[in-house]
Amino acid sequence: MSVNEDTDRGTGEGAGDPRAEFVDAMGLLVEEAGWLPRMSGRVLAWLLVAGEPQTQADIGRRVNASAATMSTVTRSLLDKRLIRRVARQGQHATYLMVREDAWLLMEEDGLRTVRRYRELAEGVEHAVPDVGPKATLHIQLMKEFFTLTEERIVEQIRQVEELHERLLREPPERTAP
C-alpha cells in the first residue's frame, strides 16, 4: 500500500504499523524533552517516514489533527526551519517536506544559544569582578562549561556537514529488515 493510499487512516489506528509507532513515539519524545509540542513531533515524524512531500490535509488525516492545529504546527515547524514548502507542477496545493539540512540547522540554533550563555557568563565576570569566591567559582564553571560545549558543537556541526555532503552524493541503499 502506498503512502497516499494509506493517508485516510490515522496513525492511532495502525496497530503494528512501524510508521505509526514511530510517529507516536516521536511525538512523546519531543514533548518529554521539552523541545516541541507532541503534535509537532508527530507531524515531523510523519514527514520523515512519508517518503514524499505531503499536503497539510494529508498530514492532518494521517496524524489525526484538525486544519487549525495543522496550520499552527506547520507554521512552527517552518519557523524552526525543520520543514519546507514545495510546489508540484500542475497542482495548486502546497506540499511540505523535511529539509535535508534540518538537523544541521537545529544544531546551529543550539550553538547560537550556547554562545549566548557563554557570553553572558563572560559579561558578568567582567562587569562584576568582586562577587566573592563562591560566586566567582560558579561563574567560572558556567563559562567553562559553555566554552567546552561550544567547542563540541562546532566539531559536531563540521562532522554533520561532511556526513550530509557524503549522503547527498552517495545516498544509502535501503535494505529489508
163-174: pLDDT as tens digits: 989 988 998 887
Residue at 19 is within a domain: yes
Q: What pLDDT is attached to residue 50? A: 94
How many structural domains is the chain composed of? 2
Q: Are residues 72 and 88 in the same domain?
A: yes
Distance CA 55, CA 9 (A): 15
Q: What pLDDT is attached to residue 176? A: 60
Residue at 132 is within a domain: yes
Residue at 54 is within a domain: yes
For residue 160, CA distances in Å to 48, 81, 149 come to: 18, 17, 16
Q: What pLDDT is attached to residue 121? A: 93
| For residues 86-111, average pLDDT | 91
Band of residue 76 on the pLDDT scale cut at 50, 70, 90: very high
Q: What pLDDT is attached to residue 7? A: 38
- Phi and psi at 87, nearest 5°, equal -105, 150
Of 58, 73, 98, the residue at which a domain comes to its end is 98
Q: What pLDDT is attached to residue 15? A: 62
| For residues 12-27, average pLDDT | 83
Provide the domain limits for residue 93: 4-98
Is pLDDT at 130 greater than 90 in this prediction?
Answer: no
